[in-house]
Chain A
Amino acid sequence: NAGVTQTPKFQVLKTGQSMTLQCAQDMNHNSMYWYRQDPGMGLRLIYYSASEGTTDKGEVPNGYNVSRLNKREFSLRLESAAPSQTSVYFCASSEGPPSGANVLTFGAGSRLTVL
């Protein structure tokens, strides 16, 4: 049971480089989310997707783009990485709509360092 799979687990970028974080879930969940976790800040929602083909901004969307490629996959792209985007990124999914009434299943995280 893979659940939510994130790749890569670790990445080091230079300022200005671009990269895409990949997320896939095999639970047939409808909703998917991207969070970032920073020391002393807790987890903050970047973007979410209620269904295939739809995406919406969360609390901290600036500097990021997302794609809900299909029901299984939700990618997060950094077009021009900045040191402020150094963080641990978590992908999550839930069966129902993103109303918060669902149990979220989280991936193991992707640790990104921007130099």
Chain B
Amino acid sequence: DIQMTQSPSSLSASIGDRVTITCRASQGISNSLAWYQQKPGKAPKLLLYAASRLQTGVPSRFTGSGSGTDYTLTINGLQPEDFATYSCQQYYTTPPAFGQGTKVEIK
């Protein structure tokens, strides 16, 4: 099985900051990498897929990059509604696997 290692597990940031979250797969996943946003009591929301493609309706301040085993989610200009938990997921092979999540908190 592929393991997904996400870091950091939490971070504190201010409105307007640039935030970077990384995700490493235990083997290559050919850019089959998605990022999700979770808020307490709400349905998780797909933000990006194929490592860098923005899901319809997601603001362009969210960007994704990476290849092979290493991937990054960047939020450019953090907004109040962005304080949430972010998780990566590989959907390259069975079973699909998620990172442990990164909680983005207000500094």
* Interaction A to B: no
Binding site for A on B (CB under 8 A): none
